[in-house]
């Protein structure tokens, strides 16, 4: 926060290293959200689920929350463009006392969106998955798969002639679209973006303010872990 405030006072270009924001599939999801429904957009977001797990190297200086959490939280921040108001987290330290190997985080947003994260380095499979469920379509980013993005034309429709919402919903089971996403290296795109912002004096996509937002969520989740998972406000 002090760095962000100092940068703002000095008028400098500051940027945090949230690499996944520069993943082409993340940018495509945001583009789909910006599209209107008539143009094939996703509609209004309902909830998002992110999973970042594997059987990996143990850390002695950070928990799974702080090791993996920034990646998914920065992606969700870039996609939703909304700051959650509460965070709750539960986890357990299996291998090392006091260092959680698995953490589940739940975020609630002012608009009603719900986000859930599963973070762990104690899992049999490597998963790097983000699912966004919206009013019109659903989209899944799978960074382990060669097919990074899948768009599901699935959901529930309400016939216009009925007024009892719960009784007359119909399931819409449409096509699964796998768009071609031009894969550029996120790190290369991140560095090029930073240099461009310096040259032009423009605001980075992952500016210091985003770093503050993500850190605030992590801090609230850590406090929630310490009190058994109670939902706690996210302090700006």
What is the arithmetic mean of pLDDT over 204-224?
96
**pLDDT for 13-52, tens place per residue?**
899 999 999 999 999 999 999 998 878 789 999 999 999 9
What is the arithmetic mean of pLDDT over 80-107?
97
Hey, how many other C-beta atoms are within 10 angstroms of the C-beta on 148?
A: 21
Whole-prediction pTM: 0.89
CA proximity to 168, closest of 156, 179, 183: 156
**pLDDT score for 5:** 78
Angle at Cα 72 formed by Cα 149 and Cα 151, nearest 5°?
20
* Buried residues in 202-220 as b, exposed as e (16+ CB within 10 A): eebbbbbbbbbbbbbbbeb
Strand bridging mode 86-92 / 102-108: antiparallel
The DSSP symbol for 211 reads H
Residues forming beta bridges with residue 143, ordered by sequence position = none
**pLDDT for 41-60, tens place per residue?**
899 999 999 999 999 888 88
Rg for the chain, CA atoms, rounded: 19
Q: Please tell me the distance from the alpha carbon of residue 105 to that of residue 52, in angstroms, as a whole number.
A: 12
CATH class of the structural domain 2-228: alpha beta
- Report whether 19 contacts 187 (CB < 8 A): yes
């Amino acid at each position: 926060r002090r760095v962000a405030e100092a940068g703002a006072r000095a008028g400098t270009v500051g940027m945090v290293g949230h690499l996944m924001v520069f993943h082409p599939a993340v940018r495509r999801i945001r583009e789909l959200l910006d599209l209107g429904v008539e143009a094939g957009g996703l509609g209004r977001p309902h909830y998002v689920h992110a999973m970042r797990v594997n059987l990996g190297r143990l850390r002695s200086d950070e928990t799974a929350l702080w090791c993996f959490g920034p990646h998914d939280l920065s992606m969700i921040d870039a996609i939703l463009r909304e700051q959650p108001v509460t965070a709750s987290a539960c986890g357990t330290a299996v291998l090392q006392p006091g260092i959680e190997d698995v953490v589940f985080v739940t975020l609630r947003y002012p608009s009603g969106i719900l986000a859930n994260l599963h973070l762990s380095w104690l899992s049999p499979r490597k998963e790097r998955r983000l699912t966004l469920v919206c009013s019109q379509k659903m989209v899944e980013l799978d960074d382990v798969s060669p097919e990074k993005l899948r768009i599901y034309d699935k959901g529930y429709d309400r016939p216009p002639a009925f007024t009892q919402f719960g009784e007359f919903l119909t399931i819409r089971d449409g096509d699964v679209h796998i768009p071609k996403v031009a894969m550029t290296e996120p790190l290369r795109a991140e560095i090029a973006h930073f240099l461009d912002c310096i040259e032009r004096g423009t605001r980075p996509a992952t500016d210091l303010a985003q770093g503050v937002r993500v850190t605030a969520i992590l801090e609230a989740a850590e406090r929630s872990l310490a009190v058994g998972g109670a939902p706690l406000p996210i302090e700006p």
